[in-house]
């Protein structure tokens, strides 16, 4: 298995878990960009959004609902938080296993990178 997130999900590499369900594992990013920086990862290996199919609609929805639950768990939902999905090289995707980043825990997360 050469996917680092698959190895974390399998328990071969330790991680600081925040929430786990049958289908999703959420754990702290090793290199946090904010006080709360959580990676929300489907246990199913999906490399890019382009690889997701109609049968993945439920898991994609659950990623967002889990992000919402984690925001509440970490008490960042009132101040606000940012969700990021880096898809592909130009976006800086480093781990080729689809995941959401949840960033929060500071007053301002800064401007969004839209250009
Ligand atoms: P991305 O650029 O969206 O593919 O982000 C991948 C993130 O994964 C990056 O912020 C660092 C994090 N990461 C990489 N390897 C590990 C690891 O072994 N453990 C944890 N907790 N995070 C990792």
Please tell me the distance from the alpha carbon of residue 40 to that of residue 9, in angstroms, as a whole number.
11
**H helices present in the chain, as ranges:** 4-9, 57-73
- β-strand 36-42 against 100-104: which pairing, if any? antiparallel
For residue 4, the CA-to-ligand 1 centroid distance in Å is 8
CATH number for the domain that contains residue 20: 3.30.428.10
Assigned domain for 16 exists? yes
The pLDDT-based confidence of 90 (bands split at 50, 70, 90) is very high
Assigned domain for 37 exists? yes
For residue 71, the CA-to-ligand 1 centroid distance in Å is 19
- Residue-averaged pLDDT of the chain: 96
Quick one: pLDDT at residue 2? 93
Assigned domain for 106 exists? no
- Number of domains forming the structure of the chain: 1
> Residues 37, 45, 99, 101: which is the catalytic one?
99
Assigned domain for 13 exists? yes
Residue nearest to atom 20 of ligand 1 (CA): 30
Tens of pLDDT, residues 10-59: 999 999 999 999 999 999 999 999 999 999 999 999 999 999 999 999 99
Please tell me the distance from the alpha carbon of residue 54 to that of residue 68, in angstroms, as a whole number.
23
Assigned domain for 25 exists? yes
Range of the domain at 43: 4-79+86-94
Residue nearest to atom 23 of ligand 1 (CA): 30
Is the pLDDT reported for residue 114 higher than 80? no
Tokens 């949840």 identify what position? 102
- The two three-digit tokens of residue 106, written as one number: 């500071």
Assigned domain for 104 exists? no
Assigned domain for 101 exists? no
Is the pLDDT reported for residue 72 higher than 90? yes
Quick one: pLDDT at residue 112? 84
For residue 98, the CA-to-ligand 1 centroid distance in Å is 11
Quick one: pLDDT at residue 113? 76
Assigned domain for 113 exists? no
């Amino acid at each position: 298995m050469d996917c680092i997130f698959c190895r974390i999900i399998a328990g071969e590499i330790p991680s600081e878990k925040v929430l786990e369900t049958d289908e999703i594992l959420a754990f702290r990013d090793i290199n946090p960009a904010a006080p709360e920086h959580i990676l929300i990862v489907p246990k199913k290996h999906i490399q890019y959004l382009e690889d997701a199919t109609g049968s993945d609609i439920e898991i994609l929805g659950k990623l967002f609902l889990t992000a919402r639950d984690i925001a509440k768990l970490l008490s960042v939902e009132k101040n606000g938080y940012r969700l990021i999905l880096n898809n592909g090289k130009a976006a800086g995707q480093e781990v080729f296993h689809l995941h959401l980043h949840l960033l929060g825990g500071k007053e301002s997360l800064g401007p969004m990178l839209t250009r």
